[in-house]
């Protein structure tokens, strides 16, 4: 009887131990494009995940030492989202106190603390699947990499000169098996603005493809198209979001790849119609953060119509001005049509020494270097006699330049802007007091647009 009791007790203990072991949940990381309260998440950028180590300057350190499978959900780089008014609290699961990601309230610092108003964060997922994580209390403070990928900080929108688009992974239950990895499909054309009729070839990383053209997920959508082989061709006739997965011979699927192709839908700047003058002062249609990828946006002109702008590494700042990141590839461009030619003028503010250039098809590029000592507000102008479609490009080497106004003016057969109340020839320049469009007196005016006696006038080349 005693022996039986011992056996029963041993069996009970083994069953208890077995159930305890089974209760230990194992997780794997799965990239997501949405978040919800109570979920466990990992935040990654260029192979670094955000950990719970804070250095002395209030920067949250990163680590490349992490696993994507077999997680317990208690790792120092795992964060739990808790619902907050207007966003989420990010709580580090490995800490019992001072565990909430918090903006320090000054400069670029982030820290771990008890929850407060600066501990609320919002998530703005982008078309490429990454997310901009913004502090809910401090206007324009985004989480992102600095210091060559060793720390996270919170920089203001206007100061974002680092990569800040973060990948988000949610912890989901791991079945314990080794996952089958299928390579993602490749696209022959990068996402961005393309011409109508552009053909994009999709190539599977497996044997076939599954893709959609309406922005829906190809793994669940009823509109998904199955390729007949390992490639498929998509012709872009209008702005289209293509989502695709590779499928192998056993039906395993890759991660979804998303590409958005935009075609010009807005009007070009046509100076053959109306008054021959168009002004841009409202830049609200520009991106709120810098992007290295060229994209097309629509901005409203002084006539109330929307016009096509192609932009790269520019944004609209907190004051509503066009700010250029500077450096190679920071540009804005516009397609322009005129009957006899046109001039374009940019009025801008400079906060240190910087160089800005204005290029127009059929004319030499105008380059201007200014510093704050020359006056905060400056003007740059360029002209062309091109009558066919032309392209205007504005570029800067320094993000201390903010553009206040852009003006496009058609010119007549003599190269004089239409609608001018008076044309001042070269031999009459000494008879008047001239001001540029920034309101600065000009002692020796050259060719261009000026104000004399409260009226806009034009100085010709003569």
What is the spatial distance between Cα 357 and Cα 370, in angstroms, rounded to a whole number?
11
Same domain, 92 and 155: yes
Q: Considering only CA atoms, which of 295, 331, 314 is closest in space to residue 193?
A: 295
pLDDT of residue 229 exceeding 70? yes
Tens digit of pLDDT for each residue in 156-215? 764 444 556 788 889 988 766 555 678 889 999 988 878 778 999 999 998 999 999 988
Label residue 199 exposed, middle or buried (CB < 10 Å: 0-12, 13-18, 19+): exposed
Q: Average pLDDT, stretch 112-125?
A: 92
Q: Look at 275 and 115; give whichever has higher pLDDT.
A: 115
Q: Average pLDDT, stretch 113-141?
A: 87
Q: Look at 48 and 267; give whichever has higher pLDDT.
A: 48
Q: Average pLDDT, stretch 89-96?
A: 93
CB atoms within 10 A of CB 36: 11
Residue 147: what pLDDT? 55
Using an 8 Å Cβ cutoff, are 304 and 278 in contact? no
pLDDT, the chain, mean = 79
Q: Look at 153 and 241; give whichever has higher pLDDT.
A: 241
- The CATH number that applies at residue 225 is 2.60.40
What is the spatial distance between Cα 164 and Cα 154, in angstroms, rounded to a whole number?
9
Q: How many domains does the chain have?
A: 3
Same domain, 112 and 167: yes
Q: Look at 21 and 65; give whichever has higher pLDDT.
A: 65
What is the spatial distance between Cα 26 and Cα 456, in angstroms, rounded to a whole number?
73
SS3 (DSSP) at 259: strand
- The CATH number that applies at residue 77 is 2.80.10.50
Q: Average pLDDT, stretch 416-427?
A: 59
Using an 8 Å Cβ cutoff, are 343 and 449 in contact? yes
What is the pTM assigned to this prediction? 0.44
Q: Considering only CA atoms, which of 49, 43, 52, 42 is closest in space to residue 63?
A: 49
Residue 437: what pLDDT? 65
Partnered with residue 199 across adjacent β-strands are 235
User: Which structural domain, as residue segments, surrounds residue 412?
Assistant: 269-419
Residue 387: what pLDDT? 61
Same domain, 328 and 394: yes
Same domain, 402 and 295: yes
- The CATH number that applies at residue 332 is 2.60.120.260
Candidate ranges 89-98, 268-277, 306-315; pick with highest mean pLDDT? 89-98
Same domain, 72 and 108: yes
Residue 161: what pLDDT? 46
Same domain, 242 and 309: no
Same domain, 398 and 256: no
Using an 8 Å Cβ cutoff, are 345 and 449 in contact? yes
What is the spatial distance between Cα 331 and Cα 324, in angstroms, rounded to a whole number?
8
pLDDT of residue 19 exceeding 80? no
Please report whether residue 427 resides in a domain.
Answer: no
Alpha-carbon Rg for the chain, nearest whole angstrom, is 29
Same domain, 61 and 164: yes
Tens digit of pLDDT for each residue in 371-408? 766 667 888 888 887 666 788 888 887 766 888 889 89
Same domain, 302 and 398: yes
Same domain, 253 and 284: no
């Amino acid at each position: 009887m005693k022996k039986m009791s011992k056996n029963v007790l041993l069996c009970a203990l083994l069953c208890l131990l077995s159930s305890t072991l089974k209760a230990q949940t194992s997780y794997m990381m799965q990239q997501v494009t949405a978040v919800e309260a109570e979920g466990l998440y990992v935040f990654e950028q260029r192979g670094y995940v955000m950990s719970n180590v804070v250095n002395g300057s209030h920067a949250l350190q990163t680590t490349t030492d992490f696993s994507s499978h077999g997680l317990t959900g208690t790792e120092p780089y795992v964060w739990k989202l808790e619902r907050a008014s207007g966003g989420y609290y990010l709580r580090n699961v490995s800490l019992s106190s001072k565990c909430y990601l918090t903006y320090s309230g000054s400069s670029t610092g982030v820290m771990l603390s008890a929850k407060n108003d600066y501990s609320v964060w919002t998530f703005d997922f982008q078309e490429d699947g990454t997310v901009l994580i913004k502090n809910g209390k401090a206007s324009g403070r985004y989480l992102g990499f600095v210091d060559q990928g060793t720390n996270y900080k919170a920089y203001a929108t206007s100061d974002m000169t680092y990569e800040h688009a973060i990948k988000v992974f949610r912890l989901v239950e791991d079945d314990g098996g080794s996952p089958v990895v299928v390579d993602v499909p490749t696209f022959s054309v990068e996402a961005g603005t393309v011409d109508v009729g552009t053909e994009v070839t999709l190539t599977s990383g497996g044997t076939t493809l599954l893709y959609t053209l309406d922005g829906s997920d190809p793994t669940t959508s009823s509109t998904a198209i199955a390729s007949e082989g390992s490639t498929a061709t998509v012709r872009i006739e209008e702005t289209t979001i293509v989502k695709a997965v590779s499928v192998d011979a056993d039906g395993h699927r890759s991660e979804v790849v998303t590409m958005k192709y935009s075609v010009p839908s807005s009007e070009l700047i046509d100076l053959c119609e109306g008054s021959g003058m168009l002004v841009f002062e409202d830049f609200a249609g520009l991106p709120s953060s810098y992007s290295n990828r060229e994209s097309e946006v629509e901005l409203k002109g002084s006539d109330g119509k929307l016009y096509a702008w192609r932009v790269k590494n520019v944004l609209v700042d907190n004051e509503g001005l066009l700010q250029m990141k500077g450096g190679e590839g920071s540009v804005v461009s516009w397609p322009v049509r005129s009957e006899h030619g046109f001039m374009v003028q940019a009025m801008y503010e400079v906060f240190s020494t910087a160089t800005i250039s204005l290029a127009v098809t059929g004319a030499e590029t105008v380059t201007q270097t200014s510093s704050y000592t020359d006056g905060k507000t400056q003007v740059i102008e360029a002209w062309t006699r091109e009558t066919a479609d032309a392209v205007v490009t504005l570029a800067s080497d320094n993000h201390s330049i903010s553009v206040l106004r852009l003006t496009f003016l058609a010119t007549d057969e003599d190269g004089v802007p239409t609608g001018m109340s008076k044309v001042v020839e070269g031999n009459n320049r000494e008879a008047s007091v001239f001001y540029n469009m920034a309101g600065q007196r000009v002692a020796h005016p050259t060719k261009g647009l000026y104000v004399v006696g409260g009226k806009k006038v034009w100085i010709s080349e003569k």
